[in-house]
């Protein structure tokens, strides 16, 4: 590998050069660009959607303590500090009764609610605020020369062909991006698991039913009550994989949510106008390694977890922390060891989070292939986890986010 060199985000005709080319302006790409900027490393971010689109795409909402601390420590968390909702625990409802898992008591940490699109807005504003390059609405993105010393990102902008020559490329373009598929098939291994159900998610103008999230195990299937603000609820229902959202009227959704979450003294589901609804697929997926030549895959480009447990965005942020540190060691000290161990370091966390997300999904959903014995077993496990401090602690420790491990 070539040693560190000064590089400039220069433009000559349609060509540019930078130190790190970043494909994708989701949480992974934007957090990476921010961390590199703070370390004095130049990058160019390209995104195939518009700024408006990425700033309004409804997705994740729960941040582990480590993710939020990183944003605050690096100066990107100002608005988040004002608007976030800090949760010291969560509720689990089963057999119609509400139980609470107290993270603060069990592991001394908390999580917080802050919508992914708000985080994206903050990070876009920070980047544009220091005048760093961020190109929206690019097309026909392709990667070239990944094995050589000067990998390239080619794309079209306003119909004109463009090329960025980089030292390194970060593939942060999500599950459907082009980075992962730019790796030759014999250099990458895929691991996956499908689930026989999906989630129907709604956003409703209704105050949250409870002060913290409610995960519900029910004979009719899983339900989750979460939130985006003191006046906005986000609710999810386990549904058929092939479900057509057109068959779910607002009335049917509320009926089903009421049925699944009913029970317990003083319980009343908070309801209001539904302002958005959609179906989310459930899958577990990972690739090994997360690197090929000078391309590093990060976030959903490298792995997907089912949403139960809210790990996807947090894992994306953890990956780019590892990558930013490795790039900093290279540019500041000429070290290539951390780049070489990037994939190994990330995958240790990835597989622990894969395990946890799969486990929480298996614990709380109804599987039609399973029988009454399995449902009794699920209930016994939830009972154990909510009544044993040892059981509750292992759940809480994973939920709030495992500590970062550096190689």
Cis, peptide link before residue 289, omega less than 30° from 0 = yes
Smallest gap from Cβ 213 to ligand DHB, in A, equals: 6
Number of residues that bind ligand FAD (CB under 6 A): 35
State which H helix or E strand residue 279 sits in.
strand 274-280
* Residue 34 annotated among the catalytic residues of the structure: no
Give the burial class of 311: count Cβ atoms within 10 A of its Cβ; 0-12 exposed, 13-18 middle, 19 or more buried. buried
Q: Is 23 an interacting residue with respect to ligand FAD (CB under 6 A)?
A: yes
Restricted to residues 223-282, the positions that interact with ligand DHB (CB under 6 A) are: 226, 234
Say how many residues make up the chain.
Answer: 407
* Residue 53 annotated among the catalytic residues of the structure: no
* Residue 399 annotated among the catalytic residues of the structure: yes
Instruction: Decide: 299 and 28 in contact? Cβ < 8 Å.
Output: yes
**Paired strand residues for 144:** 152
Q: Is 116 an interacting residue with respect to ligand FAD (CB under 6 A)?
A: yes
The only residue of 312, 318, 325, 392 in contact with ligand FAD, by rule CB under 6 A: 312
State which H helix or E strand residue 155 sits in.
strand 152-157
Contact partner, 88, from ligand DHB, ligand FAD, none, Cβ < 5-8 Å per class = none
Segment contacting ligand FAD by CB under 6 A, of 125-133, 189-197, 248-256, 309-317: 309-317
- Give the list of residues 6+ apart from residue 337 with CB closer than 8 angstroms, or none: 329
* Residue 49 annotated among the catalytic residues of the structure: no
Supply φ then ψ for residue 193, to 5 degrees.
Answer: -145, 135
Of 60 and 101, the one with the shorter C-beta distance to ligand DHB is 60
Pairing type for strands 15-17 and 189-194 reads unpaired
Supply φ then ψ for residue 94, to 5 degrees.
Answer: -150, 150
Interface map 41-60 toward ligand DHB (x if CB under 6 A): -------------------x
Buried b (16+ CB within 10 A) or exposed e, 127-142: beeeebbbbbebeebe
* Residue 311 annotated among the catalytic residues of the structure: yes
The only residue of 16, 20, 28, 257 in contact with ligand FAD, by rule CB under 6 A: 28
Instruction: Decide: 264 and 243 in contact? Cβ < 8 Å.
Output: no
Contact partner, 27, from ligand DHB, ligand FAD, none, Cβ < 5-8 Å per class = ligand FAD
> What is the binding site for ligand DHB (CB under 6 A)?
60-62, 213, 226, 234, 307-310
**Active centre residues (catalytic):** 87, 215, 307, 311, 399
> What is the binding site for ligand FAD (CB under 6 A)?
23-29, 46-49, 54, 59-62, 116, 141, 172-174, 176-178, 201, 280, 299-300, 307, 310-314, 316
């Amino acid at each position: 590998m070539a040693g560190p060199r000064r590089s400039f985000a220069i433009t000559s005709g349609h060509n540019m050069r930078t130190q790190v080319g970043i494909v994708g302006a989701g949480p992974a790409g934007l957090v990476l660009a921010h961390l590199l900027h703070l370390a004095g490393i130049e990058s160019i971010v390209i995104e195939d959607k518009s700024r408006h689109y990425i700033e309004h795409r409804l997705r994740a909402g729960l941040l582990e303590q480590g993710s939020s601390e990183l944003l605050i420590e690096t100066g990107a968390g100002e608005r988040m500090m004002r608007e976030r909702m800090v949760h010291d625990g969560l509720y689990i409802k089963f057999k119609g009764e509400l139980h609470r898992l107290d993270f603060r008591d069990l592991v001394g940490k908390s999580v917080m609610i802050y919508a992914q699109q708000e985080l994206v807005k903050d990070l876009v504003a920070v980047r544009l605020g220091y005048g760093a390059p961020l190109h929206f609405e690019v097309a026909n993105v392709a990667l070239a020369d990944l094995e050589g010393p000067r990998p390239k990102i080619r794309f079209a902008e306003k119909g004109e062909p463009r090329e960025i020559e980089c030292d390194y490329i970060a593939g942060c373009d999500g599950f459907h991006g082009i980075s992962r598929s730019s790796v030759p098939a014999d250099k990458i291994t895929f691991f996956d698991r499908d689930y026989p159900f999906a989630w129907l998610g709604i956003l409703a103008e209704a105050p949250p039913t409870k002060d913290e999230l409610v995960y519900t195990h029910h004979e009719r299937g899983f339900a989750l009550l979460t939130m985006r603000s003191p006046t906005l609820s986000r609710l999810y229902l386990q549904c058929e994989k092939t479900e057509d959202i057109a068959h779910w009227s607002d009335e049917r959704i509320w009926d089903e949510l009421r049925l699944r979450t009913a029970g317990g003294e003083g319980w009343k589901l908070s309801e209001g106008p539904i302002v958005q609804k959609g179906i989310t697929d459930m899958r577990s997926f990972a690739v090994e390694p997360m690197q090929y030549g000078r391309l590093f895959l990060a976030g959903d480009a490298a792995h997907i977890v089912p949403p139960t447990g809210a790990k996807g965005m947090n894992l994306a942020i953890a990956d780019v922390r590892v990558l930013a540190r490795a790039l900093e060691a290279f540019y500041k000290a000429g070290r290539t060891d951390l780049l070489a161990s990037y994939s190994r370091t990330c995958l240790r966390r990835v597989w622990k989070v894969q395990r946890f997300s799969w486990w929480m999904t298996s614990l709380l959903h109804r599987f039609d292939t399973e029988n009454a014995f399995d449902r009794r077993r699920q209930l016994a496990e939830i009972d154990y986890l909510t009544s044993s401090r040892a059981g509750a602690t292992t759940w809480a420790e994973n939920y709030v986010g495992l500590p970062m491990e550096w190689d």
